[in-house]
Amino acid sequence: MKHILSNKRKIFNDPVYGFITIPNELIFDLIENPYFQRLRRIKQLGLTHLVYTGAIHTRFQHAMGAMHLMMQAVETLNAKNYQITEEEENALYIAILLHDIGHGPFSHALENSIVHHITHEDLSEIFMNKLNETFNGKLSIAIDIFNNTYSKKFLHQLVSSQLDMDRLDYLMRDSYFTGVSEGVIGYDRIIKMLSVVNDELVIESKGIYSIEKFIISRRLMYWQVYLHKTVIAAEILLVKILKKAKELAQTGDILFATPALKVFLYNKFSKKDFYDDINTLNAFAELDDNDIFASIKAWTYHEDIILSKLCKNLVNRNLFKIELQNQPFPIEKINNLKKIIQKNMAININDIDYFFFEGTITNSAYDFGKDHINILFSNGELIDISEASDQLNTAVLCKSVTKHYICYPKNIENLTS
């Protein structure tokens, strides 16, 4: 006797949540699309794995995880009678799945080295529009939600806001793969406490401690992982390498590069090119982490001594020393260091910027002030978390912390003391 299986829903294994169920065939087909599959080859946290060796998870995994949380959020809100239609539900899954599709390899580091004047958000939108053509307009509502042009504003907030599924997943996932337990949050409690008031996503007051923990976790993850000083040293090195390689390419030097990277080394595309010419987008879609690293490994043998030196440093993880402090560094210290480097490494004064980097990092981009998290009390009152919380206060939450760094080869350091 035989019974043919039917209605089997596709399931993905995920170490963070156990299983991720694909809600329907359209979503499955989007996942199968090469534009999305390429995210399998782009690490979520760039070079962070040079410090946290487990952090080699991909943007593909994150997108899937965020969609999984969206399914839970929709279930919670529907159970509380905030009617989300089937069409809107589907659009939410598409929007969150594709919210980061515009990322290229190491994009936090390379957004201004490989492409210029175009952000990954712009690129996400271009990819979505292109996919909308391919899928005969089935992504239209998703795009409206993503762009916040859809009538129900709280749907956009599920995709992009202080409380979106993007943040919940990346904190959970980055904690899991880095092993930094400080980032673990009560994501399930937060989702269960979601509610909607006046078309705005809010948190029921029982969830207030989970929200406090979530805000603190995020800040700690910034300083402990995302802005870890060694990671920054590695990323600056990567930026400098690409800068030097482009410089050489543009002056006619012949560099080895994978075909996908060669396009971007020898051409400069404007934002308009991406919008107008599908070939530009497709060229970008060919790029992934492999192209960058395979090319850099080849450049360790390039005759340009600066390029080869920088590449060797990165490939063999012989990273630069980085100093980080709250105050700017004294100009005399900087000048003195530059002099020693120049003399010691026998380089031209114009090239000093390849071996001495200075700058600032700040977590102000993560502005706790701009976009409120409102807490819903059982008497119906809505109060901003910064007032509702006994632990947190606005002053601390909104404080943007800026740190100054200088970064230079390790052996130099010894010469100075």
CA–CA distance, 151 with 145 (Å, rounded to integer): 8
When asked if residue 391 is in the footprint of a copy of itself (CB under 8 A), the reply is: yes
Lookup: tokens for 114: 């490989």
In whole angstroms, the minimum distance from the beta carbon of 314 to a copy of itself comes to: 11
Instruction: Name residue 324's beta-bridge partners.
Output: 405
* 349 lies in the binding site for a copy of itself (CB under 8 A): no
340 binds a copy of itself (CB under 8 A): no
**How far apart are alpha carbons 383 and 297 in whole angstroms?**
54
Of 202-241, binders to a copy of itself (CB under 8 A) are: 204, 209-210, 212-213, 216-217, 219-220, 223-224
Asked if residues 236 and 242 have their Cβ atoms less than 8 Å apart, the reply is no
- Please choose, from the candidates 373, 340, 44, 317, the residue with its C-alpha nearest in 3D space to the C-alpha of residue 201: 373
- Regarding 37 and contact with a copy of itself (CB under 8 A), the answer is yes
10: which residues sit within 8 A by CB, 6+ positions away?
21, 22, 28
Measured N-to-C along each axis, helices 305-315 and 229-250 cross at an angle, to the nearest 10 degrees, of 150
* Residue 90 lies near a copy of itself (rule: CB under 8 A): no
How many residues of this chain bind a copy of itself (CB under 8 A)? 97
**One character per residue 173-202, x = contact with a copy of itself (rule: CB under 8 A):** ---xxxxxxx-xxx-xx--x--x-xx----
Closest to a copy of itself by CB, 145 vs 232, is: 232
* Interface region with a copy of itself, contact rule CB under 8 A, candidates 12-20, 84-92, 150-158, 234-242: 12-20
Phi and psi, residue 384, nearest 5°: -65, 140
Nearest to residue 89, comparing CAs of 71, 105, 76? 71
417 makes contact with a copy of itself (CB under 8 A) = no
Candidates 135, 293, 329, 366; binder of a copy of itself (CB under 8 A) is 293
Q: Is position 162 an interface residue for a copy of itself (rule: CB under 8 A)?
A: no
Report if residue 321 touches a copy of itself, rule: CB under 8 A. no
Residue closer to a copy of itself (CB basis): 141 or 167: 167
204: which strand partners? 376
Binding status of residue 399 toward a copy of itself by CB under 8 A? yes
Contact (CB, 8 A) for 320 and 408: yes
Is 415 a binding residue for a copy of itself by CB under 8 A? The answer is no
Residues 221 and 242 sit within 8 Å (Cβ to Cβ): no
Is 16 one of the binding residues for a copy of itself (CB under 8 A)?
yes
Site for a copy of itself in 252-271 (CB under 8 A): 256, 258-260
Q: Which is nearer to a copy of itself, 6 or 151 (CB)?
A: 6
Length of the chain (residues) = 417
